[in-house]
Each structure stands twice: as C-alpha cells, then as structure tokens.
Structure 1
C-alpha cells in the first residue's frame, strides 16, 4: 500500500558541504570533481564512493546531479552524506522537485545554506514506493542518456568521414600511392582524383571561404522586441542557452520579430563571442540574440557547413582567447580567411552525403527525442513526488515513450 506523509528533508537525509579543490591541486585520475555547474575536472581521490547526489550551493544554485561512481563534491556544492536508508535515486528526484533557489542567502553570489535546506517540508513515502517511482523515472533518464551517447557517436562518425575526405584527402592520397581507398566501393573511389595540384588540393578541387559557402546571420538586439502582455513570446537564445538549454532564467522576446531571427529545431547556431561553440538547435522555437550566428547555405548541405565550421573551431577559439582586453570573439574577416576544400564533381558531395547526412540526421533525431522524453519526465516528476499520479500510470507513460 502506498503511504505518503509530510516531514522535513533533514528527517530523511543529511547534507554536507563539499570540499574545496582546484584543478591545479588535482592529480591525474578518473574521479569526477562535481561543482555547482557539474563536472569540472578529474582527480585520483574520492570523498564519497557513490552512488551519490550533489546539489549546487553557490553560483548554479539548486542544480542537482546524480553521480553513479566514486566522486569528489566541490566546495560549491552540498552532497548527501547520509541517505538514512532511503533509495538514493529517489532522493535525487526528490531534490530535483524542490524549489531551493528561493533559499538564496548570498548577498552578491547566489548561495545555499544546508541549515536552510534541512527544515524544508516535503512529502515522503515508503521504500517500496520510492523504488517504484525511481524505476519509472530512471527508465526515461536511461533512455535520454542512451540517446545522448548514440548522438555523440553518430556525430563523431560523421565528423571523421568529413575530415577524411575533405580535410586530410585520404582517398586521394591512397590513390596517389597506388592503394585502394579504404571503406568505400569502387564506384565511389573512382570519383576521386589520384593526384594533387600545385595548390596542394586534389586535382579538380577548389578552395572557398566559410563566408562563401554559408550565410552567417548575426542575431538581433532583442531588447528592442520585449514580450507583450497577452501575446506569444519566444525564449531568447543567448550563449548560455546554447550551452545549457532553456532554463527558468531564460529571457523572453516578442514573437513579432523579423522572421529571419526566429530559431526552429534543426537550425545550426554558432556563438562567435565568449564561449565559441556550434550546435544544432533542438529545443523548439526561439529568438536569435546578438553574438550568435544562424548558419544556413544555398550552396552546400547542412552537414557540410556544420563540419566546415567545426574544422576551424580550434583556431577560432585561439583567436578569441588572444583578445585579452575584450570579451573573446571572432570577426567577419576570420570567416573570410577560413578556407574549405570543395570538389568540382558534385557526385563526391552526394556520395559523402549518403553516409554523413544519415548519421548527422539520426543524431539530430536522437536529440529531438530527448527533448520529448525530458518534458515527459519533468511533467511526471512533481506529480509522482506528491502522490498525485499512480506509479503504474507513470510507468505506462514511460514505457510508451521508449
């Protein structure tokens, strides 16, 4: 029989402040150091053997992490020192369902004090029900993690083929040395030349800049499009959203902004300032803020311009890092100076696309599915933690989504 009762969080777990350590003080190892922002670096000594639950207490306030191995909780976190016989994964979900950000006691930097967390009144249940709830929710989390790994593997496969064909020119080098190109049939191999020109490119290929092969639309100053009461609004996609996704801190803008600044699933976004990174957006409609490019092309497939930018990302980051007096960024001229190689024969791009596009598109599909799964999990979480929905119903919904 399912029984729920109200108690303080401190009745069920004991939180402990993490232990300070810097990257410089760490030693090479496989123990993750978990800070308020998540995984920071690795060390060779653990504070807790895991599985463990860590909650951000400074900076990224109230963010909860599940760690399924020995780990080191950083000083910017609180960690569960004693689960008091409760299911550890249930405790993780219970903490995720709480609004701890309202307990901020920091004057300038957001801070969470464990003495203010322990008295929080919550609904709790017996161990059997805890495990049933954990099974239902973890099924969704496990699927999300599997999709994340699949997407990462597929993207790496696509990146590897792009670099082999269009950066390292492996098929051309193989033919120039009298070898058969690896991992392709004879018809595809025949498309590649067997020599290089004086410019160092495969014979019959040409060089183009990133700005020539793709369009880089800079975002708008979205404070000019504030949300209007009673009208549709869109989340403002800034660098933080590109890194962490849409959160409760995400600003909103009016949906009545020029269509070109609207972001949809599948759009390629590239932050050219601050944290330089590129991502295929999968979190629904949004508004493109300054310091982000929306990258499109009428000349090459999406996968090609995505990996063409990726090809130059390290040098872009070095350029940005060299700007010591301002926020690191790149300029339009850097896009004009970054060159990519293109074959004159369009059949080579078509042959690559049959492999790369399939992996690239499947990776995007896995990320999109994760958004659906995460939304279902986040909908079920508070209902399960308050007893408003039966575990059996939640399990059926989770199984239907797998």
Structure 2
C-alpha cells in the first residue's frame, strides 16, 4: 500500500487469516486451548506464541478473542495476525457475522469470508490509532486478567466457607 494514501481495500491486505488446528496431544498443561468462543482448557503444547486474534469458524460467531501468549487455537477457530493488531481487532468486533454465515444447522464462516471484508485503510491514521488504542487495550487486558484472578479467589473463598460450614454440622 502506498503510504499516506486513502484506500478502500480488503481485510486480507492488512492481516493473515488461517484456520486453527486440532491438537495432536491433549495432555494437560499450561497453554490455553482456544475454542470458537472461549478457552476450553489447558494443554501442554501451543501453535501460536504472540499477538493473535481468534474468532469462531464453526459454531460460535461474533466473539473476538485476544491472545498475547502461547496458546493452541483449535480447528473451530480462525486466527488473525496483523501488524495492525488493534485496528484489526476493532474491524472484527464490528462485523455482522450473521451476514457471513454459510451454515444452515451449524453456523460456519470461512477464511475467504473474512479475507474479503471491505475496509478503509489510511496508513498514517491507522498507525496513530494503533498507538492510542494499544495503550488503552493494554490497560483493558490488565484489568481483565485481574478480574479473572479475583473471580478465582472468590471461588476459592466460597468453597472454603462452604467446606467449613459443612464440617461444623
């Protein structure tokens, strides 16, 4: 793309879209096993190791997951890698996935559906957006991780209280 030129283009011009893979080994581990809508568990291997956006390919559509860690993206997902991570994230958040659905009984979208999404791209504006959005999204990600830890702590405390009450009866 020519620098500082406004351009209507396709999403594939700023991102690489691939399908996730079925894990070969389901041995329990520390790497998130990413499904179409959430983390399904933790396994001992990974197929991505840096900033990756993940959306559902089969089943759940419309949930955009963000990962900046080693993880395994399953075969029910599409993975998106881009030098314009935040811009790509917000593009994916604003897609009407219902219009892309090819499945009748089970919702289905393809790599080509995502690759062909029309976008507007002006490099200088997008780079400025990336700088601002990445600062905000880093805070968001830290807060989300903190909430996850607090939810785990809450669950632990509630289970300990329940156990103590049971022991007292």
TM over 0.5: yes
TM-score (normalised: structure 2): 0.77
* Number of the residue aligned with 2:8: 6
Gaps of 5+ in 2: none
* Number of the residue aligned with 2:122: 125
Query: Structure 1 residues 75 and 168, CA, compared in 2 at 3 Å: closer, same or farther?
Result: same
Root-mean-square deviation (Å): 3.1
Between 1 and 2, higher relative CO (CA 8 Å, sep ≥ 6) is seen in: 2
1:6-33, Cα deviation, whole Å (9 max, x unpaired):
10112222211111238xx412322212
Q: Which entry has the higher C-alpha Rg, 1 or 2? A: 1
* Number of the residue aligned with 1:50: 50
Secondary structure of 1:42's aligned partner? strand
Secondary structure of 2:95's aligned partner? coil
Query: Structure 1 residues 67 and 9, CA, compared in 2 at 3 Å: closer, same or farther?
Result: same
Secondary structure of 1:29's aligned partner? strand
Q: Say whether 1:98 aligns with 2:95.
A: yes
Q: Say whether 1:108 aligns with 2:105.
A: yes
Query: Structure 1 residues 45 and 123, CA, compared in 2 at 3 Å: closer, same or farther?
Result: same
Please show how residues 312-391 of structure 1 align to structure 2 within 5 Å.
Answer: none
CA distance in 2, matches of 1:12, 1:105: 24
CA distance in 2, matches of 1:66, 1:140: 14
Equivalent residues of 2:37, 2:55 under 8 A apart: no
Shift of 1:124: 1.4
TM-score (normalised: structure 1): 0.36
Shift of 1:103: 0.6
Higher strand proportion (structure 1 or 2):
2
Shift of 1:89: 3.1
CA distance in 2, matches of 1:148, 1:40: 18
* Number of the residue aligned with 1:286: none
**How many correspondences in the alignment?**
165
Q: Say whether 1:29 aligns with 2:29.
A: yes
Gaps of 5+ in 1: 170-199, 202-206, 208-402
Shift of 1:158: 9.4
